[in-house]
Structure 1
């Protein structure tokens, strides 16, 4: 795998000895300078390609910079060097496959880890966020087996959930907020100012710098960094008039002089009455293992402007960030994220403090509880009083990728109905900072490093602000009924397939079903039940606009016993040939739909002629005609293995070819036919389609009683004779 390494001619460190260069790379890694560390580890790997330590460090650096593809590559490489060397490798490879949407590969890697650790587990339970600093301690310890299995099984569950969610997206479209808001580095904490502008935090525009979430020393990048200049700062951008969700060039946010060159500043929000402004200030403490420390501040608007910011009395200095203030019932509540240890569930948790309306004192902080918080990280709380829901990001719940956005109903202390927002809100990347517009249609914003973000080093390195555009909720609901009885058909599987061939299924126990639909799609809906064939319903959302209201379409799917027979209009051929005539296409397409809608059915295609011509000639011609039908069906997507073509010449006539010694044109036409017979486990063969009969398959509902006799398929010997028909 080729890389662009640092230009050795311009870098005096490239001439260092192997040992000194290794020490330099390790120091860069320990100080969070992952991009720089990658350059030197890659130089070292060129010198010592099979060194597992260098390969592991590269994997760790690429994971820290969220280059999921290269991280998975190097974790897999070090795993193949020897599973005993780095027993975490399969686990982390699975995480990186998961975060690049390679869910099947992720599941395989997770299962490989479980199979390799059936009895034992590594001594320390892995943390999918923080790097494992002591890679030399790899002694298996049965004590942690249960912890590891639970963690891995949750990741596998997340992969399975993601596969389903991608096929059944929520009614929303996400678009990048554009270059006037986003840069190649980090943007975060969007806060809508009504419907006309957006407040957010951003790093130095067009300058390479450190990437942080204003609260958690995570995924840090250090390319060139000046402690005094490059900090996260507030800016705001007005929407462009006449353009939907398009923003003007951002302006500095001077209110209250909240920006500070000595701190990363972000997470701004106003109190419900607009008199107080809350925000975070963070810094990297180099004296304390490069930990990010944060504090919440607030300022009060007074006669002469904003007061000097002060910290609310919520304790645990250096661990509080991401404030959001909202009304929960009649109470004004400060929600925030904190890494404090006392009463913590683990990692960063969501906490709350009730604000006394009389003197603005802050109540003793309380943990939001186990429905919301996990042993991993919960971040970026946002409370919507209109819905009575808390939205937050978590890396400890069942997720589609890394950090996903969730909602929980209730508050401030008790919650229920935890829900992953699903695709497209969440992807295999990181999503956080979800917030809805305060007015109008419930659009909103979130922050993500998904593909489509403006990238510094790799496509998923850096966070951008994305605009959420709520779509109309389009639903198709219906029932599956027996064609003869009209009764609901229980225990059936309903299938909805779009124009791209993507299928969703619904296990209907009571004969009823419901699917969500998206705009600009066309769908075919069928049902599947052993012993039955299905009709189809088609629904199109191609003409629906984003501004249209929610809509529900009702359809009915009919199941008919496989014992019944159906017919469609004739299949015609060119005179004395096996070439299909254009007027046969509509009839054959109905067969294509029938076989596509009933994939468990296999058929035999029988072709017949009238009695004109010699038997051996008619037999060969009928075989070619049956084969022409098979070829057409295969060309239109029907698996060849489900079909068999057989020609029978003039055998098994269904009408007399002559009457009283005179030619019978109507009878001969009826005998020039193509039949489809369902092949099932049932001994008998049933006619479902006879080309001699008029009408389409859906129009016809006639049980053909004619059962062919003597279905010999041995080819007749002899020379070709005269043609069999005069179509």
Structure 2
């Protein structure tokens, strides 16, 4: 069962492996046996022993891949043996996530016959990526794609990995995330794998571990079992839950009142982990004997695992048929007694042909957070989030660095009811050779600060309304006011695609994006100063009719009742010293075209001359006569004179060229 491979932590099987073969001198045969069983740590140790043995060194010494001379049958056999051992050794290291060892040996395999080992470049690239050698990894993925033209899962993975190494570099140079990730210390992370931490209210932290005190006697020969533990008051102790012989159990989820628990039990059967989900009820200080959930959840012949209870619904991961491929996320209803119904797939918005695992649902924010290998990420399992409920989900978004890393990141759980990233736990092998550790996510309180000024005089604006908007969801997160110095501040729990909007009565609304940068010791984001301008009295490049402009009959002489309108226009132009306008006059259809054009020109000039007398510079004024052009109403209706329409057409307009 994927990712629980980390929980098994193959390196812990070394003692048992050596015990099985302490008298065996045929290291290769022993290594092959462990490889077939899925015990990759022990396989790697015995392949190494073989290559360092006299027999192995003799085989290596006769291995001459570039020799053109006639080879003997013995040399051909030695070449096959040497190459197969080196490739199996590289595979063993990769499969228990020791990418340093894997890189070393895959580096040798890429010189082998590419037809014999067609996936060597792909896995070499994966190892390089896990070891943070992104440019070299990109080259290996490109080389693999150039040779592997078949559209299959390996080509799909290489394409995704190629996108991934570019995504990694983008993430490492991305703005600050607003959260920190820190590995938890002893006694939580102590000996073996430690993962899938959940907060049990009024109790402590429940997590799964393969630490040495989980030693059990059983028939499988595996001495280290996954078991549930409780961390409280700086001490770790086993959860008082009945254990089954030769069976791992862990990855728990609890009801809101802490009285019911769902968890996973799994066994290795025919080199494959088979998992089922169980339920237990609290009984005093202990838990009742676990009861396996119905076939609606646990389908015969398939695995169901990693339950998460959210109200009346149980989310889980399963490789049952009817999904998008491999492990998918599913849900089922839960009644008051804890009984479950039929499983429903979460759909193709969430699930991919690859693995989706470890679902977590934050009810307050309607966020589904899960791990997947099926989307572009930083490597291995990445954590993604999607907003929605059961049948309707938004496109999943990568949680990014530092929550995700170039290795596996899985088992998200938040102990915050408001913001899932305020206080959370994840499991990751980013700091480990073989196994998952529990990491704590904490919010970085980011102070957002900026200033609002008046564009005309650079004076601060006191009392402007400031809104912080999440542009991804077009949602206002906070509102506030500027102080006497024009300054505003917000306290953020996390970075995001935000903008700040500034508003003040009588002024144009303006906004600025919030640009996050990687912060070192500073925790304040300074927003570029927002400069507000007064609302423009007229739109730019659109004709505006000046009402109450009157002329003497059949003349261009302004009548006195026109002066207040032009006085107001002059005042506006003085307020906007760069403002330039075109003043245009229109006539009705009475008279000839030439006469009307001349009359309108003279009337427009009369307005311009008045404004000049009011102190407006001539260079800012343009007069234009339109004659009877461009009526706004019909001068005649059905061939009859329309006095009302002609009255509307006799008008004076301004058009703002610029402010």
TM-score category by the smaller chain?
0.5 to 0.7
CA 208–270 in structure 1, closer or farther in 2 if over 3 Å, else same: closer
Q: Does 1:411 align with 2:389?
A: yes
**Correspondence for 2:198:** 191
Q: Give deviations 1:590-641, integer Å, cap 9, x for gaps.
A: xxxxxxxxxxxxxxxxxxxxxxxxxxxxxxxxxxxxxxxxxxxxxxxxxxxx
> C-alpha distance in 1, partners of 2:145/2:100?
22
Gaps of 5+ in 1: 1-5, 127-147, 211-223, 240-247, 452-458, 483-505, 522-540, 545-550, 559-727
Please give the residue correspondences for 1:125-144 in structure 2 after superposition, counting only pairs within 5 Å: 125-126=153-154
Q: 1:389 aligns with which of 367, 370, 377?
A: 367
Q: 1:85 aligns with which of 113, 116, 127?
A: 116
The answer to whether the 8 A contact 1:475-1:516 is kept is no
CA 203–151 in structure 1, closer or farther in 2 if over 3 Å, else same: closer
Please give the residue correspondences for 1:344-355 in structure 2 after superposition, counting only pairs within 5 Å: 344-355=323-334
The answer to whether the 8 A contact 1:476-1:555 is kept is no
* Alpha-carbon distance, 1:305 to partner: 6.8
CA 234–15 in structure 1, closer or farther in 2 if over 3 Å, else same: closer
Q: Does 1:175 align with 2:204?
A: no
CA 15–298 in structure 1, closer or farther in 2 if over 3 Å, else same: closer
Q: Secondary structure at the match of 1:417?
A: coil
* Alpha-carbon distance, 1:306 to partner: 4.5
The answer to whether the 8 A contact 2:102-2:124 is kept is yes
**Correspondence for 2:9:** none
**Correspondence for 1:281:** 265
> C-alpha distance in 2, partners of 1:450/1:412?
32
CA 195–398 in structure 1, closer or farther in 2 if over 3 Å, else same: farther
Q: Give deviations 1:328-385, integer Å, cap 9, x for gaps.
A: xxxx100011111x2121111111002244x654221011111211111111111110
Q: Does 1:308 align with 2:289?
A: yes
Q: 2:162 aligns with which of 148, 156, 160?
A: 156
CA 79–178 in structure 1, closer or farther in 2 if over 3 Å, else same: same
* Alpha-carbon distance, 1:178 to partner: 0.7
**Correspondence for 2:92:** 61
Q: Does 1:253 align with 2:239?
A: yes
RMSD over equivalenced CA pairs, Å: 3.8
CA 225–35 in structure 1, closer or farther in 2 if over 3 Å, else same: farther
Please give the residue correspondences for 1:700-711 in structure 2 after superposition, counting only pairs within 5 Å: none
User: Could you say which structure has the larger radius of gyration?
Assistant: 2
The answer to whether the 8 A contact 1:99-1:429 is kept is yes
CA 196–15 in structure 1, closer or farther in 2 if over 3 Å, else same: closer
**Correspondence for 1:642:** none
Q: Give deviations 1:154-179, integer Å, cap 9, x for gaps.
A: 21111111111112341111111111
Q: Give deviations 1:373-425, integer Å, cap 9, x for gaps.
A: 11111111111101101111111111101111111111223211311111110
CA 339–79 in structure 1, closer or farther in 2 if over 3 Å, else same: same
Gaps of 5+ in 2: 1-13, 64-81, 456-497, 499-509, 532-659
**Correspondence for 1:234:** 228
> C-alpha distance in 2, partners of 1:427/1:407?
16
* Alpha-carbon distance, 1:249 to partner: 2.4
* Alpha-carbon distance, 1:227 to partner: 4.4
* Alpha-carbon distance, 1:113 to partner: 1.0
Q: Does 1:31 align with 2:68?
A: no
CA 208–105 in structure 1, closer or farther in 2 if over 3 Å, else same: farther
Please give the residue correspondences for 1:458-477 in structure 2 after superposition, counting only pairs within 5 Å: 459-473=432-446
Q: Does 1:402 align with 2:431?
A: no
Q: Does 1:378 align with 2:356?
A: yes
Moved more, 298-307 or 192-201: 298-307
> C-alpha distance in 1, partners of 2:285/2:430?
43
The answer to whether the 8 A contact 1:478-1:512 is kept is no
CA 301–38 in structure 1, closer or farther in 2 if over 3 Å, else same: closer
CA 151–475 in structure 1, closer or farther in 2 if over 3 Å, else same: farther
> C-alpha distance in 1, partners of 2:447/2:395?
23
* Alpha-carbon distance, 1:446 to partner: 0.5
* Alpha-carbon distance, 1:13 to partner: 6.3
Q: Give deviations 1:411-459, integer Å, cap 9, x for gaps.
A: 22321131111111000011101111145872110101112xxxxxxx4
Please give the residue correspondences for 1:318-329 in structure 2 after superposition, counting only pairs within 5 Å: 319-327=303-311
The answer to whether the 8 A contact 1:478-1:513 is kept is no
Q: Does 1:121 align with 2:101?
A: no
> C-alpha distance in 1, partners of 2:129/2:449?
31
> C-alpha distance in 2, partners of 1:65/1:304?
37
The answer to whether the 8 A contact 1:195-1:439 is kept is no
* Alpha-carbon distance, 1:15 to partner: 8.7
CA 66–302 in structure 1, closer or farther in 2 if over 3 Å, else same: closer
Q: Give deviations 1:60-92, integer Å, cap 9, x for gaps.
A: 001012111221222221111332321111111
Q: Secondary structure at the match of 1:61?
A: helix
Q: Secondary structure at the match of 1:80?
A: coil
Please give the residue correspondences for 1:595-634 in structure 2 after superposition, counting only pairs within 5 Å: none
**Correspondence for 2:319:** 339
CA 415–57 in structure 1, closer or farther in 2 if over 3 Å, else same: same
Q: Secondary structure at the match of 2:264?
A: strand
CA 345–553 in structure 1, closer or farther in 2 if over 3 Å, else same: same
The answer to whether the 8 A contact 1:185-1:462 is kept is yes
Q: Secondary structure at the match of 1:429?
A: coil
> C-alpha distance in 2, partners of 1:368/1:34?
34
Q: Secondary structure at the match of 1:516?
A: coil
The answer to whether the 8 A contact 1:345-1:375 is kept is yes
Structure with greater helix percent: 2
The answer to whether the 8 A contact 2:200-2:254 is kept is no
**Correspondence for 1:45:** 51
> C-alpha distance in 2, partners of 1:276/1:195?
14
Q: Secondary structure at the match of 1:398?
A: coil
> C-alpha distance in 1, partners of 2:202/2:370?
22
> C-alpha distance in 2, partners of 1:298/1:472?
39
> C-alpha distance in 1, partners of 2:92/2:216?
17
> C-alpha distance in 1, partners of 2:363/2:344?
19
Q: Secondary structure at the match of 1:337?
A: strand
Q: Secondary structure at the match of 1:66?
A: coil
Q: Give deviations 1:545-603, integer Å, cap 9, x for gaps.
A: xxxxxx65222599xxxxxxxxxxxxxxxxxxxxxxxxxxxxxxxxxxxxxxxxxxxxx
**Please, what TM-score do these two structures have when normalized by structure 1?**
0.54
The answer to whether the 8 A contact 2:191-2:210 is kept is no
> C-alpha distance in 2, partners of 1:268/1:344?
24
Please give the residue correspondences for 1:244-643 in structure 2 after superposition, counting only pairs within 5 Å: 248-254=234-240, 257-285=241-269, 288=270, 290-301=271-282, 306-313=287-294, 314=296, 315-317=298-300, 319-327=303-311, 332-340=312-320, 342-357=321-336, 360-438=338-416, 442-451=422-431, 459-473=432-446, 513-521=513-521, 541=522, 544=523, 552-555=525-528
CA 169–462 in structure 1, closer or farther in 2 if over 3 Å, else same: farther
